Structure 1
Amino acid sequence: MSESEDHTDPAKLPLDAWHRAQGARMVPFAGYEMPIQYEGIVAEHEWTRSHAGLFDVSHMGQLLVSGEGAADALEALLPGDIAALKPGRLRYSLLLDANGGILDDLMVTNVTAEGGEPTYYLVVNGATKWDDIAHLREHLPDEITLTHLEDQALLAVQGPEAETALRRVFRDAMGDLKFMQGTRFSFGDIDIGISRSGYTGEDGFELSLPAEHAETLAGRLCAEIEIKPIGLGARDSLRLEAGLPLYGHDLSPETDPVSAGLAFAIGKRRRAEGGFPGAERVLRLLEDGTDRLRVGLALEGRLPAREGARVFAGETPVGEVTSGGFSPTLGHPVAMAYVARERAAQGAELEIEVRGKRLPARVTAMPFVPHKYYRGDK
């Protein structure tokens, strides 16, 4: 999910001192001082792919939307089938403007307690959270309550050994979760919300807990042999290999869900009924197609293409790179770009202009590295 850089008066994460004690190099990002790396981006990337990494994503916005009619209220702003979301289930969705442009991408979890009022937990991107909150306050009905969980930290443990390590720490308290399922449990005096989700393409979990306990839990988790702290740099290279778009780069208000390859976020019932912002335009694009599409590009050599690089077919400009970098897993550069629909077929040969040179690139399927989400098949 998202976040643009912000170099003005960055705030500090609850774990700021802890990150520095672990040797993190801190940089301004999404309005916060964030750890970009500890021992090196490639080493941290490879550790996460083979073991498990702890990511501090407390800059993200954590919100509760509650009250009778909360699902209908959210469906007036999001294209997902929120009403069908059962308690303990998560769904990826999009906050859309009146033209169907993407204001943010986010996760929605039904956290309604048995016998309690309907309640949904939203995780929104750090750089957009204040705009998202303002948008929600403006458009949600008065009888719906919006709560910003400002005193909560958010930690992600990602990688093939994440479950092994967490079960050693939490034992049976965390329950048996599959991908896109969540629950709550107590760990000593710490109340933790956990979901089996993340943004690396690996199996993993996200943990929401009171910020005052974040350092205690981070230290306990990193005491496990499988887990090391991982910075923002590897988080970006991991999500790129997984073909996951980053808000402010691959997604923006100028981007619609169909061009972005996110039509799966538009529920079947919502396609039939509409009723979400920009529905008329978005449903027309679903029917007729779009002028451009987000595609994956594989490059030869080692020189990566970065955001803003132009994509060519012969001498004709046909698109622009929105995310790019060297793939440690694959051993060559990869990129995401929006290109003209007629040039978006898998296998299409294109060129990317980098430092005055044209680099050969081939349209390839995403994810670049297969997802390893646990869906109950092991």
Structure 2
Amino acid sequence: MKIKIQGARCVDPASQLDENIDVFISDDKIVALGSDSSFTPDQVIDAKGLTCFSGLVDTAARLREPGHTEKGSIESETAAARQRGVLHILCYPDTSPELDSTAIISQVIQAADTNAHAKVWPIGALTKSLAGTQLADFSAMQALGCPAVSNAQAPLYSDLVALQCYQYAANCQMPVIVRPQIPELYAGTCAHEGRVSTRLGLPSSPACAETIAVAKHLALAAHTNAPVHFACLSAGESVDMIAQAKTQGLKVTASVSAHQCHLTEMDVCDFNAQAHLVPPLRSERDKERLIKGLAEGVIDCICSDHQPHEATAKLAPYGDTAPGMSTIETFLSLVLYLVEQEKLSLTRAIEAMTNQPAQIFNLPTGRLQAGAVADLILVDTTARWEVSPQQMRSMGKNTAFNGWSLPGQVLYTLLAGQLSTPSPIKRR
């Protein structure tokens, strides 16, 4: 099918493109930008007033399949993602069973090929059963298409095993995704160590529970020359450590979740279980340093850290509730809110959601240029919508943003040239 996108503001940070031009698509590829007198479209999209850029790449999401289908499924969570402009999703290996073998990963790929509304990239398990004792077969998982390996939030108690993992990853040149935490400092905690946790009497973890782990993994990265991605940072000091590592030439990258750029420990004040997260929401100072690190490019990309839960998972006393938030549907709009607040430029925001994560994990997407795969979204960046759990497409309605008015409505998505129009959402 041939499609002409007419009159959109087209943004491609990698080529410094930011202008109102036409986009010409044939089958699954962008064939031209600007003008093409020989092109005869089957469909013309009038995109005046809309912004066109590459579909979002989410580097941290739980799709809950296999094993946790009361929380979500590949079909439900990718449908929620597609509706909000997320076209490529890296899904974590902490499913049941874990994504630690080619057999299980093949099942996920087959299920995604059949049911997914977005492209799903399984992250392979770093160790068998995520137990932290025996290495998984990285090269076999890489051959299947896994872009990275990770132990998710399961601890690596043995430094010897950690070193062996990094050596294997360096040999494969396969990124290791690390969620940095010292397990003994996180065990039994549910909040950031600060004024709020003290006042509420909540067991807490200090910021050094993250920064000590960052230091250890940076040392392993330096020793082995393995590519390491520090995911979902929460502490401001971690940003400074990543910045220094980059000046030393280490192969390190980092991400922050969109909600960590808007919420702080103060959002826990009324024992709001929707704000129970791992890593926990930290101080205002931490939040502002994360945003600055993102704007400066020290933090390479931004992710959703999507963790849908069934309603009952959030109905216990705060510390006994399941941590995590359903965030894939607020991902784009929370980032556009940072742009609206003039904390990020639009170009940097788009880069951090598209081209940079695609480059880090070597994915064939992330560009708006002739010859690229036609993975595109058309967004009204000024249209506002109100977050409502009842209107969420995800099976997980667990959000701390209920009632927030956010910018950004996705009107069209194209995944490998296949056009989809998301369901209309009430504007405000």
Q: Same fold (TM over 0.5)?
A: no
Q: Which has the higher helix share?
A: 2
TM-score between both structures, scaled by the size of structure 2: 0.26
TM-score between both structures, scaled by the size of structure 1: 0.29
Q: Which has the higher strand share?
A: 1
